[in-house]
Amino acid sequence: MRNPWVRAVVGFVVGLLLFLGIAYSLKAVLKPEWAASPVISQIVLKTTMIVVALVVWLALGRLLSEMGWRKAPWWNRSYAPWISVAALAMMSATVVMIFLGVKHPLAAKMNFLELVLCIWMLSSISEEIYVRGLVQSWIAERDEAAARSPFAPSIVASTLVFAGMHVPLIWSPMGIQGGGTLVAGTFFAGWGCAVLRARTRSLWPAILCHFLANVASIPGGILSTVFFKLLYHRLPDVLTSG
């Protein structure tokens, strides 16, 4: 597959189907009490994603450094625009969801510590290893220098895979409005992560971007609550309902 866009389409389809296969297979085989626990189900899913990504990559005969396991500065001024894109996307998604009165079906069942460990940390690491480490690196092949345009095939496909992983939320209690909002937010957050992965050739800046995008939901929630209170003289439904 010498054509990079053909490779991108194949990577997108296989990457998304593999993720959905992992997610729904685990849901079917987990004990009912484990599947019902958002913490346990997330730990099992995200750990499995890491293992699958690493096993597939090594089975392809590729070096771990080509997957993105290489050093990169934890901070560089060039990171700021793309981290800002990701953070603003997730902050905006949080604002919209609060005004719509919808909650994330998993996050709503977690306390703050569980949210930090499972969503902010574990999800940031596992999803970047899977999407940016396995899918994006495979599409870029070994010529990563050619994938540094923000609209490069590997970056576009990686962004779409990440957003696609959240599409099933549309059929959750969030509905099409809430789920669609989160899909849009994850699209732009994933774009920021994908560009950093390509430009630094490392997973670490992408993981940092993902983490900060998740953290941005907190100021987004605070701001939207304040504006909601000023506009409607009451707290948002997501804060007052069970």
Contact at 8 Å (CB) between 50 and 127? Answer: no
Residue 31: predicted pLDDT: 84
Mean pLDDT of 96-106: 90
Q: What is the pLDDT of residues 213-234, one digit of tens each?
A: 999 999 999 999 999 999 998 9
The residue behind tokens 């913490």 is: 39
Average pLDDT, the chain: 92
Question: What does the pLDDT average to over 196-221?
Answer: 95
pLDDT, tens digit (0-9, with 9 covering 90-100), for 115-163: 999 999 999 999 999 999 999 999 998 666 556 789 999 999 999 999 9
Segments making up each domain of the chain, as ranges: 4-240
Total residues belonging to the chain: 242
- pTM for this model (two decimals): 0.94
When comparing pLDDT for 48 and 143, which is higher? 48
Query: pLDDT tens-digit profile of 185-197?
Result: 999 999 999 999 9
Lowest mean pLDDT of 29-38, 86-95, 163-172, 223-232, name the range: 29-38
Contact 199, 148 (CB under 8 A): yes
Lowest mean pLDDT among 57-61, 68-72, 73-77: 73-77
What pLDDT is recorded for position 105?
A: 86
Residues 192 and 85: beta-carbon distance below 8 Å: yes
